[in-house]
Amino acid sequence: MGKSILDYETLELSESERALVIIDQTKLPGKTEILHLKTQKEIWTAIHELQVRGAPAIGDAAAIGAYLAALEINTEDGTEFQKRFFEATAYLDSSRPTAVNLSWALRRMEGVAHEALARGTSVREVVELLRCEALRIKAEDIHICERIGAYGLELVKPGDGLLTHCNAGQLATAKYGTATAPMYLGHERGYRFKVFADETRPLLQGARLTAYELCSAGIDVTLICDNMASSVMKNGWVQAVFVGCDRVAGNGDAANKIGTSGVAILAKYYSIPFYVCAPTSTIDFDMPTGADIPIEERAAEEITEMWYKERMAPKGVKTYNPAFDVTDHTLVTGFVTEYGVARPPYETSLKEIRKKMRESA
């Protein structure tokens, strides 16, 4: 049997080439093209252009990118090394604004460098510590997704219809995905879910990536346009919604791909539980509410011409193209984390999750 998309690493470090190796997600599903990114500019661009994308995956990619930057810093002087390393992490951090995993992973890398240098560790050893930390961040991502899968599966039953938006799948993480993790685990256990994947305008992550992944796994998946979600819910075909997220505020407001908040409103209307799958790296306790979450705005062409044979909007028309929206915490039934499911009130339950995380560290 040929290699399926699920047999590829979403991203990995090639030590021999000193490169971040990714699948170019902008080309899927038509073409599986593997990119070997060596320079900081290439890595920055790959994150910015969504060649590697999804909150956990961009954190993993940035961590590997930071290690590669450290390898290139040619000095034995710790102070000089730290200055140049922090310049490199700041540069990578500027590639996309909404997913907090990006800065979370880079702050972890900076912390490792700073603490080791403060202890008098040599630059060469610090670089090795950074390699280990980057690989640890990726390995933890896989374990976290497995845990989210197990907790998520407890919320549904065999034969359920599940709706998801965007791609919070294997391609958005190092493995399994977050919102798709319960689907993969259930599939392994013979749950026979019926999944509905929103196509997710304008970049079609649902059609190009989620539908592709789930089809490759042999999961029963039906692709729908975003404006069909209400119909499938009204028909009684959806028993739960699982989505990913890019940043969760302390009160449970959650930023995810544009259109997620509309799905949450529909789910509330039809009394369907709406679950946000959230690794703790996505929870931003420094942000009390979703009002301050920075929302990326992208190019007008994504709406007016991308994917179309010819331009589909009048030249010069005004556009508004936010890449994310914030779902109000009142619409979220629960956050599925690697430490269990947080239920309202989130000010308390998310802190409980953070306590469990600290205790297990």
Q: How far is CA 49 from CA 53, 177, 318, in A?
A: 8, 20, 22
Q: CA quadruple 274, 277, 283, 287: dihedral positive or negative?
A: negative
CB of 77 to ligand MRU, least distance (A): 37
Q: List, in order, residues 6 or more apart from 310 with CB less than 8 Å away.
A: none
Exactly one of 13, 56, 185, 186 binds ligand MRU (CB under 6 A); that residue is 56
Residue 327 binding ligand MRU, by CB under 6 A: no
Q: How far apart are CA 29 and CA 210, in angstroms?
A: 10
Residue 178 binding ligand MRU, by CB under 6 A: yes
Give 37 or 172: the residue with its C-beta nearer to ligand MRU: 172
Q: Residue 345: is the preceding peptide bond cis (ω within 30°)?
A: yes
Residue 256 binding ligand MRU, by CB under 6 A: yes
Q: Which part of the chain contacts ligand MRU (CB under 6 A), choosing from 12-20, 30-38, 47-55, 186-194?
A: 47-55
Could you give the angle at the alpha carbon of 115 between the alpha carbons of 109 and 119, nearest 5°? 145
8 A C-beta contact, residue 82 and residue 70: no
Q: List, in order, residues 6 or more apart from 248 with CB less than 8 Å away.
A: 254, 255, 276, 278, 282, 283, 284, 335, 350
Exactly one of 10, 51, 173, 251 binds ligand MRU (CB under 6 A); that residue is 173
**Token pair for 333:** 């039934």
Residue 53 binding ligand MRU, by CB under 6 A: yes
Residue 55 binding ligand MRU, by CB under 6 A: yes
Q: List, in order, residues 6 or more apart from 267 with CB less than 8 Å away.
A: 233, 238, 241, 273, 274, 331
Give 52 or 123: the residue with its C-beta nearer to ligand MRU: 52
Residue 166 binding ligand MRU, by CB under 6 A: yes
Exactly one of 323, 331, 342, 353 binds ligand MRU (CB under 6 A); that residue is 323
Give 281 or 349: the residue with its C-beta nearer to ligand MRU: 281
Give 112 or 278: the residue with its C-beta nearer to ligand MRU: 278
Catalytic residue numbers read: 246
Q: Map residues 124-143 to x or -, x wherever contact with ligand MRU holds by CB under 6 A.
A: --------------------
